[in-house]
Every structure is written in C-alpha cells, then in structure tokens.
C-alpha cells in the first residue's frame, strides 16, 4: 500500500471517532451520560459540609445565621450538602429551597416537638422569606 493511502485511512478513522463523540454515539460517551452519572451519585454516601466551611466566603450570612434564632440550624438544612459548592463556588452547585415546605419541615406542629410552630394559615399564600430573614429568622422589615 502507498504511504499516502495509509495516512488518508488513518485521517478518516480519526474523523469518524471525533464525529461519534460529537453525536454521543460512542460507548465511552454513553458511560458518562446524565443517567449513569445520576446513578453513580445516588449510590454514593452523602457527605455534608458543616456551616464552618461556609464562613470564609459568606461571613455576613454566617454571622446573621449563627447569632440569631437559627443558631442551631446548619446551612445544610436549607442548602443541601454544600460539599461540591465549597470547591466549585458556582451558583449552580448549591441548592436554595425558598419554599414554605422547606420551613414547615421543622416548624409545623408535631406533638412533642420543642420549637416554635405555626400552621399553614400563618402568612398563607406567601413564602416565609417574604417576612422572615431565613438566616437570622427574625421578622424582616
């Protein structure tokens, strides 16, 4: 075979592999699909980061949070594990659960629960954060 033919065949082969990757038909790309990534994530034991790990970058929120009514509540209660975010530092890597349900998990009236409780009629129709700063848990003006 002539050398230039070999080079041509090689170039076509490389081009084919690149195309396969681009359109996600390579077996390696399938391995890394969102579904298999989710499965891998779900099989991992959750590792939580404690509030102290948020302090260096969010000192204002940390101070409000640890000196107010929510001083015993970890950031992770409302923001998830925070583990990836502490190294990635992007808005997408952290959860913000700004819903009534996220607060009612702890503040709904359950017999024997020893914290201030409210029922669904309290401030109904608006998010709790409209009136309460979720960090200090004070009534905001």
Residues engaged in binding ligand HEC (CB under 6 A): 49, 51, 53-54, 56-58, 61-62, 65, 69-70, 72-73, 75, 77-79, 82, 85-86, 89-91, 94, 96, 98, 100, 102-107, 115-116, 118, 122-123, 126, 128-132, 134-135, 137, 139
CB of 121 to ligand HEC, least distance (A): 10
At 45, list the tokens: 């034991």
Task: Return d(Cα 15, Cα 9) in angstroms, integer.
Answer: 10
CB closest to ligand HEC, residue no: 123
Distant-in-sequence, close-in-space partners of 132: CB < 8 Å, separation ≥ 6: 138, 139, 140
Residue 26 or 81 having the CB closest to ligand HEC: 81
Inter-residue contact 59 to 135 (CB < 8 Å): no
């Amino acid at each position: 075979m002539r050398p230039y033919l070999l080079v041509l065949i090689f170039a076509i082969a490389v081009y084919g592999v690149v195309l396969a990757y681009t359109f996600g038909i390579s077996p390696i790309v399938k391995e890394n699909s969102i579904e298999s990534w989710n499965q891998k994530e779900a099989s991992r034991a959750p590792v939580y980061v404690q509030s102290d790990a948020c302090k260096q970058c969010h000192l204002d929120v940390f101070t409000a949070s640890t000196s107010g009514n929510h001083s015993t509540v970890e950031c992770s209660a409302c923001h998830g594990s925070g583990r990836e975010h502490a190294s990635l530092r992007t808005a997408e890597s952290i959860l913000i659960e700004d819903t009534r349900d996220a607060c009612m998990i702890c503040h709904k009236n359950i017999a024997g629960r020893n914290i201030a409780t409210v029922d669904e009629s309290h401030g109904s129709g608006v998010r709790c954060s409209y009136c309460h700063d979720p960090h200090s848990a004070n009534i905001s003006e």
